[in-house]
Structure 1
């Protein structure tokens, strides 16, 4: 089918499009800023068009010649999000009817049967009604908390649990929630075009577990191997005050945190499972809560430290993070990134990179590395004594001082995983890219994934030394490469044998 996706640069849209491509659909990706899609892996497999959901003319042009429209847009980060979303939904509904679209698909939120709705849920419900009344066959899939790396709901849960071993919380932490894994949401969305034309209704979708938010935080701590969290619910914390705290403790912006917190005053549990009569469940069944958390945490690590060695889940699964995820997602992976241009050719810089460590050293502040090694040994770690197997060449999986070689892409990139005792996980990535002028650019990236409050404190404590250690390392690696290049050139000029490489 010919499918148009509004919200292609968003959290859900960026994951859905590869699923639609894999299913054999022709996809038109719609974005207000198409440049954001220029470097996504599937950019060459779709038609990318520019349109704004609040502009009727651009929407009409985007829908021309299409069959299925996915509407995955909402303006939660705006104060007037309800007004904006209503206007956009009305434009989409009219344009879809005029373009003779055969199916509209919308992802909304589970609506509680009783009580006054939060602004967020009320807006989602309003958009759903507008689309269902459009005259175009519409399916509205309604979900509660979506568990996936990068989703606002998951990141809020994640940061609160990781950073706060003791929490004073509002009463809503005892409300019941039926979360669903992102992979299961994508399953239902990607199968929605198969529904017959007479189906025009909402469906609740949720995972197999019904939990309180308190349960979710405590079980997250178990999966993440954190100590048990102490949670004390009190009456005084209003949703607004809670949102201010979320904004302080987590990277989720206040504009998003406020409506999300307001929605948690409701119990959001599926009132029906009628979707099972139309779309079969995923192979192996729906993803349970603990597995969803495990997958999401693995995806966060894999996103910031790209690897092929993850054993926790199948690489390339639809819940993998995408470049279009919010900029704040996965923010607890700290970075120290440095690069330097050199006249030395990339091949020579690579020789220095692959020979690093062991007797060759780490090219920066040897005393600091030695002291850190001693401390690691005193605390039961491996220290720096392991050295390296070969003075010039490495193999994936081998030990290198207190590191282990995780990835080796010769002659471009080396990634090491730390095996020292630290409150978290750490990597060091060394890479080189050739330049058009015959020189090259050396790039060095240190990454640290903190484990609880101790991890955050550790990074902040060592951060002041990074300029000396990592800054010096960049300069000295490049200096060693330039020295090699000069020596090789001198030897060639003198007619002697080339340097041993």
Structure 2
């Protein structure tokens, strides 16, 4: 089928488009600026057209020949998001009807219990659902609660609050029940919804197998992430407005997004029916722990690189995309150094491959020795392991307190730290040819903190990085030149 995806630069749309293509559909993505999708890994597998849902005159080419149209646009974070989403939905519905689209699929939010005052965020989602259901085009509205996956604003709030606060004074809404669902399962339902029979025209509740309070979600996240149990102290003092500012203070999630999300948490978000399972049979949704484990996979698989895999597998959907906002994906600290080297790349590589053991680390030996003694006092391996061979390294072998994780001969050495630190650390060294001769040395130290202790650790060692890592880069370059 020919599918149109709106919101392809967003969290769900950017994950749905390549998976629709992988499923055999012809995919067209609508964006106000085609350049925003130019560099995504799947750009060559979709058609990209420019248009703006709030400007109906731009929509006809996008809907031409489309059989299934996905409405995934949401203006959350903008001051007038309710008005913009209303206009976008009305224009989308009119364009779909005029083009003879066979099905509309919309990912909305949970409905508050009857009689409760809705938050602006959920009120807008419900209004968009009504507009699309009244479009005259068969429509499937999928109502999802908290979506678990790296890059999801709701998940990022949960991640940062849990990781950064071992003791939390929290508002009473942490006792409300939520039925979270993994992003991989949301995407599966969205893809399969394209094939629903024409007489299916309604809303469906989505949810995973676990019904948890927000506090329980924080405790379970902490266990999966290897953090000590969090102390949660509910209070009635924090209003939704104050809660949003509190979230903005503790996490990098912007206040403009945190405010409507926090306001929505005053409602319970539990599925009232599971009719979608009968219409779209498949593997049942995975549980909260497995969803979190997948969302943390980019951190826990010891992969320093932050580039998203171009594979369209559902498990990869839980990991970060280059198009995700810069506040998503968890905390990562890095120290990067680059130096021009007046020596060929192969000579620079010999110095890189010779680090550690008797050869040393080319920078402030006393500081490295003291750090090794401290690590041994803490029960770590220290610097006593040395290296197996003075000149050659192999993947998997020990190198002082490091483990050789990857080698690309002549180009890349990546080491994973096995010292006692509250987080995970890597050191990456590269040798590259320089234009016009010589070479370039790239050095990158990466630290992924675990809990508040990890952030404090990085802050404590940061003052020493200037002379340790800069000296290391300078001396490796000098060693290659002599």
Which category of TM-score, normalised to the shorter sequence, fits these structures? over 0.9
1:415 corresponds to 2:393: no
1:143 to 1:354, Cα distance in 2 relative to 1, 3 A:
same
1:109 to 1:362, Cα distance in 2 relative to 1, 3 A:
same
1:474 to 1:62, Cα distance in 2 relative to 1, 3 A:
farther
In structure 2, what is the equivalent of residue 128 of structure 1? Answer: 129
1:112 to 1:17, Cα distance in 2 relative to 1, 3 A:
same
TM-fit CA distance, 1:301: 4.6
Matches of 1:344 and 1:31, distance apart in 2: 47
Q: How does 1:40-51 map to 2 (within 5 A)?
A: 40-51=40-51
Q: Map Cα deviations across residues 192-223 of structure 1 (whole Å, 9 max, x no partner).
A: 11111121211111000111111111111222
In structure 1, what is the equivalent of residue 231 of structure 2? Answer: 230
Per the alignment, in what secondary structure is the counterpart of residue 107 of structure 1? strand
Matches of 1:358 and 1:39, distance apart in 2: 42
In structure 1, what is the equivalent of residue 470 of structure 2? Answer: 471
Per the alignment, in what secondary structure is the counterpart of residue 447 of structure 2? strand
1:303 to 1:421, Cα distance in 2 relative to 1, 3 A:
closer
1:448 corresponds to 2:440: no
Matches of 1:412 and 1:216, distance apart in 2: 43
Q: Map Cα deviations across residues 298-323 of structure 1 (whole Å, 9 max, x no partner).
A: 23455972399xxxxx9963323211
Q: How does 1:53-72 map to 2 (within 5 A)?
A: 53-72=53-72
Q: Map Cα deviations across residues 248-295 of structure 1 (whole Å, 9 max, x no partner).
A: 11111111110000000001101111101211132xx21111111111
Q: How does 1:178-257 map to 2 (within 5 A)?
A: 178-257=179-258
In structure 2, what is the equivalent of residue 351 of structure 1? Answer: 350
Of 39-48 and 161-170, the range deviating more from structure 2: 39-48
In structure 2, what is the equivalent of residue 90 of structure 1? Answer: 90
Contact 1:110 1:142 (C-alpha < 8 Å) held by counterparts: yes
Matches of 2:23 and 2:469, distance apart in 1: 46
1:381 corresponds to 2:402: no
In structure 2, what is the equivalent of residue 104 of structure 1? Answer: 104
Of 52-61 and 288-297, the range deviating more from structure 2: 52-61
Contact 1:141 1:203 (C-alpha < 8 Å) held by counterparts: yes
1:32 corresponds to 2:32: yes
Q: Map Cα deviations across residues 18-66 of structure 1 (whole Å, 9 max, x no partner).
A: 2112111111223233333333221222222222222223322222222
Per the alignment, in what secondary structure is the counterpart of residue 347 of structure 2? helix
Of 256-265 and 435-444, the range deviating more from structure 2: 435-444
TM-score, length of structure 1 as denominator length: 0.91
1:216 to 1:150, Cα distance in 2 relative to 1, 3 A:
same
Contact 1:307 1:407 (C-alpha < 8 Å) held by counterparts: no
Contact 2:184 2:314 (C-alpha < 8 Å) held by counterparts: no
TM-score, length of structure 2 as denominator length: 0.94
TM-fit CA distance, 1:129: 1.1
Matches of 1:178 and 1:107, distance apart in 2: 16
**Unpaired segments of 5 or more residues in structure 2?**
308-312
Contact 1:170 1:242 (C-alpha < 8 Å) held by counterparts: yes
Contact 1:19 1:318 (C-alpha < 8 Å) held by counterparts: no
TM-fit CA distance, 1:73: 1.2
TM-fit CA distance, 1:154: 0.8
In structure 2, what is the equivalent of residue 270 of structure 1? Answer: 271
Matches of 1:464 and 1:131, distance apart in 2: 56
In structure 1, what is the equivalent of residue 310 of structure 2? Answer: none
Q: How many residues get paired? A: 477
Contact 1:15 1:319 (C-alpha < 8 Å) held by counterparts: no
Contact 2:156 2:330 (C-alpha < 8 Å) held by counterparts: no
**Unpaired segments of 5 or more residues in structure 1?**
309-313, 484-501
Q: How does 1:144-163 map to 2 (within 5 A)?
A: 144-163=145-164
Of 208-217 and 317-326, the range deviating more from structure 2: 317-326
Per the alignment, in what secondary structure is the counterpart of residue 372 of structure 1? helix
Of 3-12 and 60-69, the range deviating more from structure 2: 60-69
In structure 2, what is the equivalent of residue 164 of structure 1? Answer: 165
Matches of 1:434 and 1:301, distance apart in 2: 32
Contact 2:89 2:128 (C-alpha < 8 Å) held by counterparts: yes
Per the alignment, in what secondary structure is the counterpart of residue 106 of structure 2? strand
Contact 1:149 1:300 (C-alpha < 8 Å) held by counterparts: no
1:154 to 1:348, Cα distance in 2 relative to 1, 3 A:
same
In structure 1, what is the equivalent of residue 16 of structure 2? Answer: 16
Per the alignment, in what secondary structure is the counterpart of residue 9 of structure 1? coil
Per the alignment, in what secondary structure is the counterpart of residue 362 of structure 1? coil
1:395 to 1:35, Cα distance in 2 relative to 1, 3 A:
farther
